[in-house]
Amino acid sequence: MISKVLFIAVGAFVLDLAFAASISKRAPASQLKVCKRSVPNYKECFMQSVQAAIPVLMRGVPKVGIHPVDPLFLTRLDIGQGSGPVSIDLNLKNASIIGLKHAVIKSVKYDIDNYQFSAGFDINDNVEIVGQYSIKGKIMVLPIVGNGNCNITLVRPKLELKELRGKPFVKNGKTYMKLEKVLISIAKVEKMHILLENLFNGNKELSDQMNVFLNENWADIIKELMPAIESALEAVVKEIGNRLFTKVPYEEFFPA
Ligand SMILES: *[C@@H]1O[C@H](CO)[C@@H](O)[C@H](O)[C@H]1NC(C)=O
Ligand SMILES: *[C@@H]1O[C@H](CO)[C@@H](O)[C@H](O)[C@H]1NC(C)=O
C-alpha cells in the first residue's frame, strides 16, 4: 500500500481541470491525476488515475459543466416494450441513480495512439434507481399496471466499459479527442430488489403479491431493464468524456 502511494507521487502529476478551462479560482475538487507514459508501471498508474478521478467526477466539476454523477439525476428513463415473457412498458420520471461512487476499477485496456479504451468496474455496494414509475404490460402472463414511487436496487453490479472510442480533432494547433462510441454492459448483478408502490390503483393486496412475484423473478425481469440502464450510463459517460476531452488537449491526459 505504501509503495503504491509513493508510486503515485513520482509517476503521476496533477491536471487541474478548472485551470485548463482558464478559470482562475482553482479548487482541488477539479484536479485529476495523470501519468507520464514513460513511467515503468504505466498501466498500474493509469488505473490509479482512473480510480482517483471517480470521486472527483461523482461530485461533479461545475466549472467545466460536469454535473454530479452520484446521485445521477435523470428526467426520464424509458424501458421499452419487450417481446419475451416480460413485455412491459416501464417509464421512470424524476429518477435518481444512487451508488455509482462505489465503483472500483478492476481492469483496463488502452490503445492511446488510436483513442481506444476499455475497462471493468466492480461496484461493491447497492446501486439504487429511485423515482416515479408508470408501468403497463405483462409479466409471464400476469397483467401489470400502475404508477407511483419505485425503488429498483441492483446488488453489487459489475460494469464493463466495453468500448470507449474517440476521434482526434485539432483546435488552435492542439489535438483533442471527441468521443464517437461508448459501449457499456452490466456484466453481473448478484440480486435485484424491486419495489413498485401503488400497483393496480393502490390495491394493496394485489400490489404486494405482484411485488413478491417480481422479486422472485428478478433474474428474468432484469434482462428487460438492463438495455435502458446501460444506454443511460453510456449517455452519461459520453457527456462527461466529451466535456473533459474536448476542453483539455489529449496529450495533457497522456503526456509522454
Ligand atoms: C422528484 O423526486 C423528489 C425526491 O424523490 C421529490 O421530492 C419531488 O417531489 C419529485 N418531483 C416531481 C416533479 O415529481
Ligand atoms: C431502496 O431499497 C433498498 C433495499 O431494497 C434500500 O436499502 C434503500 O434504502 C432504498 N432506497 C430508498 C431511497 O428508498
| pLDDT value of position 27 | 41
Amino acid at 221: I
Q: How far apart are CA 94 and CA 27, in angstroms?
A: 30
Task: Give the domain CATH number at 46.
Answer: 3.15.10.30
The helix, strand and coil proportions of the chain, stated in percent and rounded to the nearest 5, come to 35, 45, 20
Pick from 14-23, 60-69, 200-209 the range whose average pLDDT is largest: 200-209
Cα of 67 from ligand 1 centre, angstroms:
19
Residue 230: all three cell numbers together: 446501460
Q: Grid coordinates 446521485 are at which residue?
A: 71
Cα of 20 from ligand 1 centre, angstroms:
36
Q: What is the mean pLDDT of residues 46-61?
A: 91
Find out whether the beta carbon of 132 lies less than 6 Å from any atom of ligand 1.
Answer: yes
Beta bridge partners of 95: 74
State the pTM of this model: 0.84
| pLDDT value of position 122 | 97
Question: Is a pLDDT exceeding 70 seen at residue 16?
Answer: no
Question: Is a pLDDT exceeding 80 seen at residue 19?
Answer: no
Find out whether the beta carbon of 130 lies less than 6 Å from any atom of ligand 2.
Answer: yes
Question: Is a pLDDT exceeding 60 seen at residue 12?
Answer: no
- Residue 98 · residue 130 · CB < 8 Å: yes
Question: Is a pLDDT exceeding 60 seen at residue 25?
Answer: no
pLDDT tens by residue, 120-153: 999 999 999 999 999 999 988 899 999 999 999 9
pLDDT tens by residue, 143-189: 999 999 999 999 999 999 999 999 999 999 999 999 999 999 999 99
- Cβ neighbours, 10 Å, residue 162: 15
Cα of 132 from ligand 1 centre, angstroms:
8
Going by C-alpha positions, the residue among 248, 238, 231, 107 that lies closest to residue 164 is 238
Q: What is the mean pLDDT of residues 13-41?
A: 64
Index of the ligand 1 atom closest to the CA of residue 93: 14
Q: What percent of the chain has pLDDT over 70?
A: 87
How many domains would you assign to the chain?
A: 1
Is beta strand 142-155 parallel, antiparallel or unpaired with respect to 103-111?
A: unpaired
| pLDDT value of position 17 | 55
What domain range includes position 184?
Answer: 2-253
Index of the ligand 1 atom closest to the CA of residue 149: 5
Index of the ligand 1 atom closest to the CA of residue 131: 5
| pLDDT value of position 6 | 31
pLDDT tens by residue, 72-103: 888 888 876 666 778 888 899 999 999 999 99
| pLDDT value of position 75 | 85
pLDDT tens by residue, 204-225: 999 999 999 999 999 988 888 8
Going by C-alpha positions, the residue among 4, 5, 12 that lies closest to residue 254 is 12
- Asked whether the CA dihedral 129, 130, 132, 133 is positive or negative, the reply is positive
Instruction: Using CB atoms within 10 Å of the CB of residue 49, give its burial: 0 to 12 exposed, 13 to 18 middle, 19+ buried.
Output: buried
- Ramachandran area for residue 35 (φ above 0: left; ψ -120 to 50: alpha; else beta): beta
Q: Which of 8-22, 57-71, 138-152 has the lowest mean pLDDT?
A: 8-22
| pLDDT value of position 101 | 94
| pLDDT value of position 239 | 85
Residue 175: all three cell numbers together: 489535438
